[in-house]
Amino acid sequence: MEYTFFDLLVLIGSLGLFLYGMKLMSEGLQRVAGDSLRSVLAAMTKNRIMGVITGVFVTALIQSSSATTVMVVSFVNAGLLTLFQSITVIMGANIGTTVTAWIISLFGFKVSIAAFAVPLIAFAFPLVFSSNNKRKSLGELILGFALLFMGLDMLKNAVPDLRSNPEILAFLTQYTNFGFGSVLIFLLIGTILTIVVQSSSATMAITLIMCSKGWISFELGAAMVLGENIGTTITANIAAIPANVSSKRAALAHSLFNLFGVIWMLFVFYNFIDMVADIVQKYGPGDPTQLQAMTKTIDSETLNLISTADSSSLSVDQLALKEKFEGSQLATSYALSVFHTVFNIINTSIMIFFVGLIAKTVSWIIPKKKSDEEFHLTHISTGLLSTSELSIIQATKEVNVYAERTLRMFYMVKELYVEKDVQAFQKTYDRIAKYENISDRMEVEIAQYLTKVAEGRLSDESKNRLQSILRMVSEIESIGDSCYNMARIIKRRNEDKSEYTEQMNANVEKMFDSVIKAYDEMMHVLADFDTKTSVDLGYCKEIESEINELRNALKMQNVVDVNGKKYSYQASVTYMDLIIECEKLGDYIINVEEAVKDSTTLTKKI
């Protein structure tokens, strides 16, 4: 057999170049778009239609449904998208990914973009080494585009010549004559191939090449496309493994959505194939079902000649045959692209009415555990209400939820302080870190919401409340930061292997109890803010004064104890850092309470 191990390496290398080009182009586009891409994904999901459109837009832009679904999973994990919203975006991503097939069909076979690849690289080369990040990302985008089509062109030329190697042809053809069984076999092949190469776009390119060379019929190519729709879901499921329960559900929803689509398509497969073939034959370049039959009637030498030779060196008959052959290639690639697009559009149009059912199904399959937390805005995730005044009420409720989350965060810090098991310690520490990240995101989300509310017509009282809420949100975020800082201090204590005395532990516990007392009072004050009742900060200030006095006393005692060698200086460092951080947290709490007090006082005056 003429196909050597070196030729196999060239084939694998060509696939690698295609995949690397796709990855580089996708990442370059994401960086060029910047945070605006994430903002679009997070903001344009107010209803299921907008969610689908957003998924189509983002995926068509970054040329990777896997990148979109992984991004969606991370957003669900961060609480920026609900499960319902994520399912609609994923549905749109399935339509958006069909753009890749159209690019390959329109340019990969009709126009040799590979011929322009090297000049494109020359243009991208200086941009890649630019110190400006935007220009550098643009250079990577262009470079990825060039490498993608260079890899595609090499892939077409690197695949084995089956006409010259009948033993390989026999291997392929033994699975093509089982009727509907062959459809199922090639559906499985498409699924496995996509899982292996981790890119439905790469599998689509391979499918188009296999069909264009006449190895498999158009209908078996369509079966492979269905398999790619199942295989592509594996990326999001892998990304969701370390994430929270909502992320796992979003990834599973992607799998179920595509699986349901493939199942109903199999029932109407042949009718659907005939419909697509008729459309392409009537409005496109020709009959896509004739390519395989045509390749069987042409000897391998002539087929190789019309595929590779320059048109000027061909006879009139060979030139006519070449045009006919290229027309059939184009018709088949168009038909596969039409099949891919129409299938995903119809599937999304049907399944969009069952988003709620899909959400309930995945929630039943993956039940929530006690340790799982779902992070998303509870009261203001659906956008502005009809009036700005009502929107402020919703924001006020959200601030209470925000404060409760930071309280849970502080209780986790208390658990962390006494935790002896290494694995349990790390698990709690990771949860605190996740809460801190969510806290930062919530501050931004609430602040952006209030900024939109401020654009509406507000009474003087509402303007004052809005300013107070903004101040509260900022201070509550500082509370979250303070809790995370304490977790880091405790972790540093463990890494330093510092031993605290019983008295040190008792002092820390006493400080923790004072902070919790301040926390509880803050929650009462926030409840008063929600009901617009007058607020008395007398008791709040007593607690804050108690925390300050305790901090001062412990600082003075620490100097005496270190000099008396009751514990090491190294232990005293983390010990005092912890005490001081508790005092800072107490300051942030009183700041929240004062914001409430100022608001209610001014409201009475108004």
Instruction: List the one residue out of 320, 254, 289 whose CA is nearest residue 97.
Output: 254
Instruction: List the one residue out of 525, 529, 522, 518 whose CA is nearest residue 599.
Output: 529
Give the up-direction half-sphere exposure of residue 421: CA atoms within 13 A in the CB hemisphere: 5
Residues 6+ positions from 486 with CB-CB distance below 8 Å: 413, 578, 581, 582, 585
Query: Count of CB atoms within 10 A of residue 75's CB?
Result: 24
Contact between 22 and 67 (Cβ < 8 Å)? no
CA distance readout (Å), 485 to 20, 240, 413, 423, 582: 40, 27, 10, 20, 10
Instruction: Look at residue 26 in the predicted model and tell me its pLDDT.
Output: 63
Contact between 48 and 352 (Cβ < 8 Å)? yes
- With b for 16 or more beta-carbon neighbours within 10 A and e for fewer, the 328-339 pattern comes to bbbbbbbbbbbb
Its CATH class, for the domain covering 388-605, is mainly alpha
Contact between 425 and 483 (Cβ < 8 Å)? no
d(CA 592, CA 519) in angstroms, rounded, equals 10
The mean pLDDT values, 10 residues at a time, for the chain of 606 residues are 70 78 70 59 66 77 64 63 78 76 60 68 85 82 79 66 46 67 86 72 72 76 86 71 72 86 90 87 76 70 67 72 75 83 88 86 80 58 53 80 89 92 89 85 81 74 82 91 93 90 92 92 80 71 91 92 90 93 92 81 50
Query: Count of CB atoms within 10 A of residue 383's CB?
Result: 12
Instruction: Look at residue 600 in the predicted model and tell me its pLDDT.
Output: 62
Instruction: List the one residue out of 156, 161, 214 whose CA is nearest residue 3.
Output: 161
d(CA 525, CA 519) in angstroms, rounded, equals 10
Q: Which residue has the tokens 């516990």?
A: 509
**Phi then psi for 225, rounded to 5 degrees?**
-60, -40
Contact between 599 and 465 (Cβ < 8 Å)? yes
Name the residue ranges covered by the structural domains of the chain.
5-365, 388-605
Instruction: Look at residue 449 in the predicted model and tell me its pLDDT.
Output: 80
CA distance readout (Å), 471 to 74, 397, 425, 461, 598: 29, 15, 33, 16, 11
Radius of gyration (C-alpha) of the chain in whole angstroms: 31
Instruction: Look at residue 101 in the predicted model and tell me its pLDDT.
Output: 64
